[in-house]
Structure 1
Amino acid sequence: MWKISAQVLISTVRGAHVRQSLCSAWTGSGAAPSREHTTQDVTARSRALGPIRSYPPPLLSFLVLHDRLPFASARMGSACKTSAVYKAPPFPCLLHPLCFPPRLNHPDVMSVYEKRNGAPAVDPGELRGGLEDFEKDDLSKPPFILNWTEIKLIGIAGVGFFLDAYDLFIINQVTSMLQWRFYGGKSLPSTLSGLVKAAANIGSVIGQVSFGIMGDYFGRKAMYGKELMIIIVATILCISAPSSVGGDGVLIWLSVWRIVLGIGVGADYPMSASVTSDRAIIRKRGSLLCYIFANQGWGSFVGSLVTMIVLACYKGVLDNNDSANWSKTDGIWRIIVGLALIPAFGTLYQRLTLPESVRYTRAIQHLPPPVDASLAAKGLLPDGSVENGNGDLENGNGVKSVPAAVDTRPGFKQTYDAEGNPIARENPDVVALEEVDHANVDKNIIAANQRHHWKEFRQYFGQWRHLKILIGTTCCWFLLDIAFYGINLNTNLILTAMGLGGSTGTAWNRLFQVATGNLIVTALGFVPGYYVSVLTIEYIGRKPIQIMGFAMTSLMLALLAGLFSRLDHGGFIALFTFLQFFFNFGANTTTFIYPVEVFPTKYRATAHGISAACGKCGAIAASFGFNSLVGPIGTANVLWIFFGVSILGIPFTFLLPETKDRDPDVILAEEEKAGLAPV
């Protein structure tokens, strides 16, 4: 007889109703289930919870194979909204043909272990009811549709980019307020103004390179969260600037601690990008990275909104020309800067406790990369590979390809027991993506990885086919940031030309106009550009978007420069909005994504840190260069320089491959087999 070890999932719903469902089963000929409570234990639990209904065989369509595929019951548990899980003793029963969800049994999606043990398949169209909806194959969903685990990851990893853009916006507001506080509304000293704006970018270069290197060398878990601690400390010290030292003293104080702040913000680039890419399913990786990077748009938007709200609170004392009240701006800028501490503290614990990823753990042990189910379904892993008798993948010609590895489908909360430990699988090699936080990597393996890391890194990038890609990512990011930060670090000048720069009126009116102008541009162009990238990147691809982005920003800059003195306010707003839109639906997004998608896991953080640091070097050049050149040659001619820089980004993009559906770890494994890469 078939035996079934069933879990009874009991959930309290509205009112006094109780929903009880059988949610998992083990099938086998006389095989005893692996983890089961005694009959007495279950009886005691049942008495405490009340009678358990019996279900006739036709209603067993809610069964999933728990012991062999424990992550299946997690999905069912979520569907039933369970609050507790109990295992009943085995009892004989007939198996209903709808026991097997299509996602777990589709021949293109099943893990290596499932195929090896002959898991039964079922036509997905046979499923009915709520389970059918809940177990709908993820491969049929658009890549920008996220599950709860991915949403949480966006919240944890996205805060650094939120703070980066928040800081980028508010520094313009802070310098404007300091003009009224210490310089009577006149311009700041050009050298100090450039320094305070460039300070965070200077620190970012240090943070990106150092944390990128350490993220690969010591591991993501060892370093992640430390960058947020740096941001918190630096922010507190920034708002502690003593007014008694005068205007120049405050600017120097801010510059010093903004360099430290920049180290934390810069460190977040390689760390959050690597943490996300390590955990992402290949078919959704680009969209997930776009979602995280889109937090820059929200940072700029919230920065504008917060400034307007705080200014509105001070309207009564600043909305006049009484210079005696200008000192009130001292409190305004400190409040605006200090509010950045809220999201920083809100995600610090989650970052410090985030587990190591499967990909990184396997990479440092020189184990085969995880097999991505979404690529297997498309026949891209690689060349339509199938498993042979030795556990290796072979292509259609029988040529050995990549060794069989692990299932990368994400786990869920219910795959863990009450103590937070993962429920063991029958085959220890088949693990869910999130279960690696409990994997014990031998310290000797970590030490060996550290000893050989730099040798392997030099060997890898010593080959032109890899070095040219690094040159492409660094140069594209450098050229992009010259134009992007040259514009966005000096929005006050651009907004003045648009009639939104606050060139007339009281101190309050001028500051409020600048905040309003930024809010309009951010809402119309900045944020939408990010989300168009989210929706299209897995369909269009990275390379076409980057080329299109450089081309369109060049066009917008040429129009702004050529028509600078002739445009009316409406035309200026339209062109500037489109410029911001194509920055973000273009190279600003793809230059961030490329390094974490094109390089293998063991070198990913370092390569991303180097690429991002080159980008920040462009931002530093722009922050100093704009202020130095706008006086002698005029704003229009500076925009022509940005036009030329954007055009140069197009040829460098051709050094880069398309990374859509590309797994760099699989490529590295193939190169190692062929003797083309360090082992």
Structure 2
Amino acid sequence: MSVYSNEKRNGATVKPSGFRGGLEDFEKDDLSKPPFILNWTEVKLLGIAGVGFFLDAYDLFIINQVTSLLQWRFYNGAVLPATLSGLVKAAANIGSVIGQVSFGLMGDYFGRKAVYGKELMIIIVATIFCISAPSSAGGNGVLIWLSVWRIVLGIGVGADYPLSASVTGDRALIRKRGTMLCYIFSNQGWGNFVGSLVTMVVLACYKGSLDSTDPANYSKADGVWRIIVGLALIPAFGTLYQRLTLPESIRYKRAIENLPPPVDAEFAREGKNPDGGLEAGQSNAGAALPDNRPGFKQTYDAAGHPLPRANPDVLATEELDPSDVPKEVVRAEKRQYFKEFHQYFGQWRHLKILIGTAVCWFLLDIAFYGINLNSNIILAAMGFGGSTGTAYNRLFQVATGNLIVTALGFVPGYWFSIVTIEYLGRKPIQLMGFTMTALMLALLAGLFNRLDHGGFIALFTFLQFFFNFGANTTTFIYPIEVFPTKYRATAHGISAACGKCGAIAASFGFNSLVGPIGTANVLWIFFAVCILGIPFTLLLPETKGRDPDVILAEEEKAGLAPV
């Protein structure tokens, strides 16, 4: 890429395209490639931001394997105390609520750079304390210890949701933004897959001790669960430095300075005039904004219409030199953030969208975590419940069942979302996801006592597939794409926290209801929850190609939003 000299635009100095900060700037986009083909900079961003969701799934879903091991270590294979079992499974989600709201707010208030990486430090510390649980405390003591530190772990895991999503959304080109967010979130599937695979490998290493009927050998299970949990430290340490040194994005800096958003490179190269209409909300660039905006030299076509910059070698994220911005530019002071947030969401057209993103996530997580945090019941119906044989045989069966479901359902579901998100759109995928998961749950519930193992595997696999090629992915994407940069981390944190509240309710509710009403009736409750997600999805707009920063600027210009 060629380097251009500094130039003046409406009184402000614009840094040339050669002054690039790697991940600080967008890369040039190759429009000949589909959105799911990434360039090197996007792959680097994926590696930095994606590890959080890998650890999210690894740490959250590995607890099923850990509790099974604790059964043999301290209870000779007997069922864990119901209250403590529910607490240790819900602990990380309880912490996630705290982390999502608090770090989402801090990400908007202080900036992404100021807090990004701190959540990974919390995960590292909490993981170290989890694997340091004193066996001398006994089974109940270890479960309480794990519950406390998994709450702390959950704070770090929860914080990663709004921060990594915002860091990615701030940097992604509009035409690839949904795909990038899908890539980031798909690491949840890989975390689940690797968790099951690691469990099988470590169990195989301990086979000689656990493949025995002598209870004295069950103490070896202590080493298995500590190794499984402790291995999460490797990817955490591997990306900590990159997170702590990641620069602030251009889009965020422009947003808090009330400057127009950056122009996507593909519009500059195509020479198109992006649609800046308020109703359609499909604007993709700041070039269609008024020519008195600082930092832009407006040009016009023969008919007098504003044109974007046409130089294909100039990055879409040219950064204004802050020392040379005209004094008349009004910057948003951070101490006004809460007032601005209240004013923005005090308007019904914005509040109803936040309600939509939060309630959809809440409903989705009731069903998703209700199933996946208690998958041992479903796995038993599939023939992988580990109800017979030695400790090793039982544990290995459960891990194998998890691996099969993840490989057939989880991972393919995420990849279907990655490939189709920019073609089908977010709203159709979410509607389809809620509808199909409701159908699969209805079939599982209605045929629960009649299905053979193969039938359970098929239906449960399709259920997981449509969770992830559906609302489990789109609920994560929506808050980033529908809300402006200056509010998106907080809005994402609120929406995600509502989802975790659903997960907490499912963690305790599933165990409490299975006994009195039976598993099939609990699945009917999850069916109703998914059906309820459909009308709330209708509150949401389609966000494909939508730039919320441009929409906010146009609302302010039209007097529809406070400045």
Does the alignment reach a TM-score above 0.5? yes
- Give the direction of change, closer, same or farther, for the CA distance of 1:351–1:655 in structure 2 (3 Å limit): same
- Give the direction of change, closer, same or farther, for the CA distance of 1:369–1:270 in structure 2 (3 Å limit): same
Query: Partner letter of residue 535 of structure 2?
Result: P
Rounded to whole Å, the distance in 1 between the matches of 2:3 and 2:56 is 49
- Give the direction of change, closer, same or farther, for the CA distance of 1:389–1:629 in structure 2 (3 Å limit): closer
Partner of 1:380 in structure 2? 274
Normalization by structure 2: what TM-score? 0.89
Is residue 2:65 matched to residue 1:165?
Answer: no
Gaps of 5+ in 1: 1-22, 27-32, 35-66, 75-110, 112-134, 412-429
For 1:138, what is the secondary structure of its paired residue?
A: coil
For 2:367, what is the secondary structure of its paired residue?
A: helix
For 2:333, what is the secondary structure of its paired residue?
A: helix
Return the offset for 1:373: 3.0
Question: Which of the numbers 227, 242, 249 marks the counterpart of 1:350?
Answer: 242
Rounded to whole Å, the distance in 2 between the matches of 1:269 and 1:396 is 47
Return the offset for 1:501: 1.0
For the 8 Å contact 2:356–2:536, the answer to whether it is kept is yes
Rounded to whole Å, the distance in 2 between the matches of 1:25 and 1:336 is 49
Larger radius of gyration: 1
- Give the direction of change, closer, same or farther, for the CA distance of 1:311–1:140 in structure 2 (3 Å limit): same
Percent identity of equivalent pairs: 79
Rounded to whole Å, the distance in 1 between the matches of 2:288 and 2:351 is 32
1:522-561 residue pairs with structure 2 within 5 A? 522-561=406-445
Query: Partner letter of residue 333 of structure 2?
Result: N
Question: Which of the numbers 191, 200, 203 marks the counterpart of 1:308?
Answer: 200
Question: Which of the numbers 460, 475, 497 marks the counterpart of 2:344?
Answer: 460
Partner of 1:641 in structure 2? 525
- Give the direction of change, closer, same or farther, for the CA distance of 1:386–1:326 in structure 2 (3 Å limit): closer
1:455-491 deviations in whole A, cap 9, x for unaligned? 1100000000000000000000000000000000011
1:517-565 deviations in whole A, cap 9, x for unaligned? 0000000110000010000000000000000000000000000000001
1:61-100 residue pairs with structure 2 within 5 A? 70=18
For 2:77, what is the secondary structure of its paired residue?
A: coil
1:607-622 residue pairs with structure 2 within 5 A? 607-622=491-506
Return the offset for 1:184: 1.3
Query: Partner letter of residue 500 of structure 1?
Result: F
Rounded to whole Å, the distance in 2 between the matches of 1:203 and 1:396 is 58
Return the offset for 1:375: 5.0
For the 8 Å contact 2:267–2:308, the answer to whether it is kept is no
Rounded to whole Å, the distance in 1 between the matches of 2:83 and 2:151 is 16
Query: Partner letter of residue 68 of structure 2?
Result: S
For 2:133, what is the secondary structure of its paired residue?
A: coil
1:73-472 residue pairs with structure 2 within 5 A? 138-374=30-266, 377=270, 379-382=273-276, 391-392=297-298, 433=317, 449-472=333-356
1:2-59 deviations in whole A, cap 9, x for unaligned? xxxxxxxxxxxxxxxxxxxxx8598xxxxxx89xxxxxxxxxxxxxxxxxxxxxxxxx
Query: Partner letter of residue 142 of structure 2?
Result: V
Rounded to whole Å, the distance in 2 between the matches of 1:395 and 1:470 is 39
- Give the direction of change, closer, same or farther, for the CA distance of 1:137–1:628 in structure 2 (3 Å limit): closer
Rounded to whole Å, the distance in 1 between the matches of 2:299 and 2:418 is 32
Rounded to whole Å, the distance in 2 between the matches of 1:399 and 1:603 is 31
Rounded to whole Å, the distance in 1 between the matches of 2:45 and 2:183 is 10
- Give the direction of change, closer, same or farther, for the CA distance of 1:562–1:363 in structure 2 (3 Å limit): same
- Give the direction of change, closer, same or farther, for the CA distance of 1:68–1:303 in structure 2 (3 Å limit): closer
Rounded to whole Å, the distance in 2 between the matches of 1:164 and 1:656 is 26
Rounded to whole Å, the distance in 1 between the matches of 2:299 and 2:554 is 11
1:326-351 deviations in whole A, cap 9, x for unaligned? 01001100000000000000000000
Rounded to whole Å, the distance in 2 between the matches of 1:612 and 1:258 is 18
For 1:140, what is the secondary structure of its paired residue?
A: coil
Rounded to whole Å, the distance in 2 between the matches of 1:393 and 1:565 is 70
- Give the direction of change, closer, same or farther, for the CA distance of 1:318–1:289 in structure 2 (3 Å limit): same
Question: Which of the numbers 541, 553, 558 marks the counterpart of 1:657?
Answer: 541
Return the offset for 1:371: 1.6
Equivalent residue pairs, number: 536
For the 8 Å contact 1:212–1:267, the answer to whether it is kept is yes
Is residue 2:538 matched to residue 1:669?
Answer: no
Rounded to whole Å, the distance in 2 between the matches of 1:224 and 1:446 is 27
Return the offset for 1:68: 6.8
For the 8 Å contact 1:558–1:640, the answer to whether it is kept is yes
Rounded to whole Å, the distance in 1 between the matches of 2:223 and 2:355 is 45
Question: Which of the numbers 612, 625, 629 marks the counterpart of 2:509?
Answer: 625
Question: Which shows bigger deviation, 313-322 or 551-560?
Answer: 313-322
- Give the direction of change, closer, same or farther, for the CA distance of 1:388–1:296 in structure 2 (3 Å limit): closer
For the 8 Å contact 2:16–2:318, the answer to whether it is kept is no
Partner of 1:575 in structure 2? 459
Question: Which shows bigger deviation, 387-396 or 241-250?
Answer: 387-396
Question: Which of the numbers 467, 473, 476 marks the counterpart of 2:360?
Answer: 476
1:71-98 deviations in whole A, cap 9, x for unaligned? 89x9xxxxxxxxxxxxxxxxxxxxxxxx
Query: Partner letter of residue 382 of structure 1?
Result: G
Partner of 1:49 in structure 2? none
For the 8 Å contact 2:410–2:465, the answer to whether it is kept is yes
Is residue 2:483 matched to residue 1:599?
Answer: yes
For 1:139, what is the secondary structure of its paired residue?
A: coil
Partner of 2:383 in structure 1? 499
For the 8 Å contact 1:371–1:406, the answer to whether it is kept is no
CA RMSD of aligned residues (A): 3.0
For the 8 Å contact 2:425–2:543, the answer to whether it is kept is yes
For the 8 Å contact 2:369–2:503, the answer to whether it is kept is yes
1:598-618 deviations in whole A, cap 9, x for unaligned? 000000100000000000000
For the 8 Å contact 1:561–1:637, the answer to whether it is kept is yes
Return the offset for 1:397: 8.6
- Give the direction of change, closer, same or farther, for the CA distance of 1:440–1:351 in structure 2 (3 Å limit): farther
1:199-246 deviations in whole A, cap 9, x for unaligned? 000000000000000000000000000000000000000000000111
1:506-525 residue pairs with structure 2 within 5 A? 506-525=390-409
Return the offset for 1:676: 1.3
Normalization by structure 1: what TM-score? 0.75
For the 8 Å contact 2:93–2:151, the answer to whether it is kept is yes
Rounded to whole Å, the distance in 1 between the matches of 2:317 and 2:479 is 22
Return the offset for 1:398: 6.1
Query: Greater RCO between the two (CA within 8 Å, min separation 6)?
Result: 2
For the 8 Å contact 1:375–1:381, the answer to whether it is kept is no
Query: Partner letter of residue 523 of structure 1?
Result: A
Query: Partner letter of residue 522 of structure 1?
Result: T
1:19-30 residue pairs with structure 2 within 5 A? none
For the 8 Å contact 1:375–1:661, the answer to whether it is kept is no
Return the offset for 1:141: 1.3
For the 8 Å contact 1:207–1:267, the answer to whether it is kept is yes
Rounded to whole Å, the distance in 1 between the matches of 2:455 and 2:131 is 38
Rounded to whole Å, the distance in 2 between the matches of 1:351 and 1:136 is 23
Gaps of 5+ in 2: 7-14, 278-282
